[in-house]
Chains A and B, each alone.
Chain A
């Protein structure tokens, strides 16, 4: 940071960056704003920016029509559950790949990623039949399992690239001390890997929260998350911009807030080994 920057330049950069940031955020801002308008105002021309009668009736309407809290809880359980289960399975695998690499490690990694290329809709009927015969339809457990498997390759990869950055000498040193393998993981590796794990955790919660194919097709009511909640608003009758905006805001608000509060952690690990 030896370079000093002229004030003019800093102001210009600020203006450009803010303009782009606001432009990218605008659709979300507009949705949130519209959710507080009446239906008539939502399509008024010219559109009103702030000077309208703020109302929360859309939220009341959405709440009276659907059990938001139930869907919300399902989303929390499913995204958190699948991420934690995924981490549990992926951490040992990523550790092994990072510290005992074999010539085939990269192939295994690429193969894992390639399982994500299977278009889900092609295997919907087989999956539905399997789920029905083992009684997992419309259960949180079923969705946790599916989402774990879907995101496992990404989890393994993210962790692997992160673990690789940890210098091997530290592990060697602890091994000299006679620390056993488990202890090595618990006391030496884990603390160093926490930022990477946190970042992986966050990214996968986001991916699981927004997954809208399996969560919609393998649930009915008991395990249906917010993706199913929004599916009942995708084209209701009559004027619906304000109600749609309210439902959308409710569906995205939790993850938006989580993402914002933890963006530092999220960004730090979001390198996939791209940074040396």
Chain B
């Protein structure tokens, strides 16, 4: 009986939706704050586009990446809009898996997109993914703790100062740790930080002939510096801390400094979430005196898979979510400090935003300082600051990340970790045919 009613209901629903000609877009997103905010604001979109309905698939970053990649590579066609990182966009665009976005509407103003970001998403002058937010990395530090220790943070510090300050601030008996850095293994976790940092130390992943470089002294300097610093001034369990874990530590007042994504700035200064909202200062990611700063460049972007049958509706949505009007919508509902940062130049010229977001200038400077084409002080055959934009990097980066994470945990020495990293990189690169 209930089954019958249920079936009837389903039929009726199917019939009704057929009549209304509604199209349902399935959108895959990552579970971070800005994306979740967008989900809550979609009434604005559906009000303007009553014939389009939205279905959300929100997943943790790694699961999202696996699902979306499997789907697009096998042409599964489960999603109409995908959230794609700046690492994948060039690789997928080259495969012809993404539709070029050439119908974003008259008032979209693609020229307003921050050039450092949009150039990485374009190929042959066509945009293949629209940036939803972009980030670099910078130092967030506790002004009160610095004052107490009699230290002043320069605007562009170097690593020696940072290490010294971190050790001075550390007060383990009161659970204050001088510096929190990523340690959790993963190409997008500890390797994002370590690759960017190693750039500043003059290290690189591969030489011009794709020969892995972990046996070079620059890597040894960078990695031992990191491991020693974390041993003296880092929190316990650092080898399983990623972005989220460190964010929680910083918000609860347990870190003196934290070098991580610029988007974190709005979380640590948000009085609703943070216990130290008014005590946070910002500075550029440190250098090691070699002319490169260890700040990365990342963006989460919306892209349309080539297999979708709803390309037109999907493009409408992408245009809405990455438009100037969307930024204003967020600002009107949640305040300027909460708009997704890093994508549009006009945002950084907006006086209201500058006032609400003390980290605005630092964010834009950091983004502009990143150079994906020349990440290290030495020439490299690849593109990408904190990653190497080749398909093999996810697996390789994670495997190397595991070795470095083990070194941080004290399970292996720095030398052993680097030797294993070198060995498995040579293996993978040989298998993939880069090393002849």
Binds A, one of B31-39, B110-118, B126-134, B209-217: B31-39
Task: Give residues 124-164 of A contacting B (CB, 8 Å).
Answer: 124-125, 128-129, 132, 137-138
- Does A263 interact with chain B (Cβ within 8 Å)? no
* Across-interface contacts of B39 in A (CB, < 8 A): 65
Q: Identify the closest chain A residue to B70 (Cβ).
A: A128
| In contact, B67 and A43 (Cβ under 8 angstroms) | no
| In contact, A237 and B32 (Cβ under 8 angstroms) | yes
- Does A233 interact with chain B (Cβ within 8 Å)? yes
- Does B40 interact with chain A (Cβ within 8 Å)? yes
- Give the residue of A124, A129, A221, A236 whose beta carbon is less than 8 angstroms from that of B31: A236
- Give the residue of B74, B77, B275 whose beta carbon is less than 8 angstroms from that of A129: B74
Q: Identify the closest chain B residue to A66 (Cβ).
A: B58
- Give the residue of B31, B77, B247 whose beta carbon is less than 8 angstroms from that of A232: B31
Given contacts A217-B67, A221-B26, A232-B60, contact A239 B76 (CB under 8 A): no
Q: Whole-angstrom distance between the alpha carbons of A228 and B31 in the complex?
A: 12
Q: Whole-angstrom distance between the alpha carbons of A265 and B211 in the complex?
A: 63
* Across-interface contacts of B267 in A (CB, < 8 A): 237-238
Q: Whole-angstrom distance between the alpha carbons of A240 and B243 in the complex?
A: 13
- Does B55 interact with chain A (Cβ within 8 Å)? yes
- Does A97 interact with chain B (Cβ within 8 Å)? no
* Across-interface contacts of A66 in B (CB, < 8 A): 56, 58
- Does B12 interact with chain A (Cβ within 8 Å)? no
- Does A211 interact with chain B (Cβ within 8 Å)? no
* Across-interface contacts of B79 in A (CB, < 8 A): 220
* Across-interface contacts of A138 in B (CB, < 8 A): 78
Given contacts A65-B39, A138-B78, A220-B28, contact A234 B252 (CB under 8 A): no
- Does B59 interact with chain A (Cβ within 8 Å)? yes
Q: Whole-angstrom distance between the alpha carbons of A125 and B28 in the complex?
A: 20
- Does B248 interact with chain A (Cβ within 8 Å)? yes
Q: What does the 1/0 interface line of B226-265 toward A look like (CB < 8 Å)?
A: 0000000000000000111001100110000000000000
| In contact, B63 and A220 (Cβ under 8 angstroms) | no
| In contact, B242 and A125 (Cβ under 8 angstroms) | no
CB distance from A227 to the nearest CB of B (A): 11
- Does B273 interact with chain A (Cβ within 8 Å)? yes
A interface majority secondary structure = loop
- Does B149 interact with chain A (Cβ within 8 Å)? no
Given contacts A128-B70, A234-B63, contact A220 B78 (CB under 8 A): yes
- Give the residue of A43, A137, A221, A235 whose beta carbon is less than 8 angstroms from that of B56: A221
Task: Give residues 55-71 of B contacting A (CB, 8 Å).
Answer: 55-61, 63, 66-67, 70-71
| In contact, A132 and B76 (Cβ under 8 angstroms) | yes
Q: Whole-angstrom distance between the alpha carbons of A52 and B76 in the complex?
A: 48
Q: Whole-angstrom distance between the alpha carbons of A238 and B39 in the complex?
A: 18
Given contacts A40-B275, A125-B74, contact A231 B244 (CB under 8 A): no
CB distance from A42 to the nearest CB of B (A): 10
- Give the residue of A43, A228, A233 whose beta carbon is less than 8 angstroms from that of B248: A43
- Does B75 interact with chain A (Cβ within 8 Å)? yes
* Across-interface contacts of B28 in A (CB, < 8 A): 220
| Centre residue among A129, A132, A216 by max chain B CB count within 10 A | A132
CB distance from A75 to the nearest CB of B (A): 16
CB distance from B237 to the nearest CB of A (A): 14
Q: Whole-angstrom distance between the alpha carbons of A235 and B247 in the complex?
A: 11
Could you give 11 example pairs across A and B, Cβ below 8 Å? A40-B275, A43-B252, A66-B56, A125-B70, A137-B78, A221-B55, A221-B56, A233-B60, A236-B31, A237-B244, A238-B273
Binding site for A on B (CB under 8 A): 26, 28, 31-33, 36, 39-40, 55-61, 63, 66-67, 70-71, 74-79, 242-244, 247-248, 251-252, 267, 273, 275
Sorted nearest first, the 7 A-B pairs with minimum C-beta distance are A220-B78, A232-B58, A234-B60, A221-B55, A235-B244, A232-B31, A221-B57
Q: A132-B77, A233-B60, A237-B33 are in contact. List 12 more A-B contacts (CB 8 A).
A: A64-B40, A66-B58, A132-B74, A217-B70, A220-B57, A220-B79, A221-B26, A221-B55, A232-B59, A237-B267, A239-B248, A239-B252
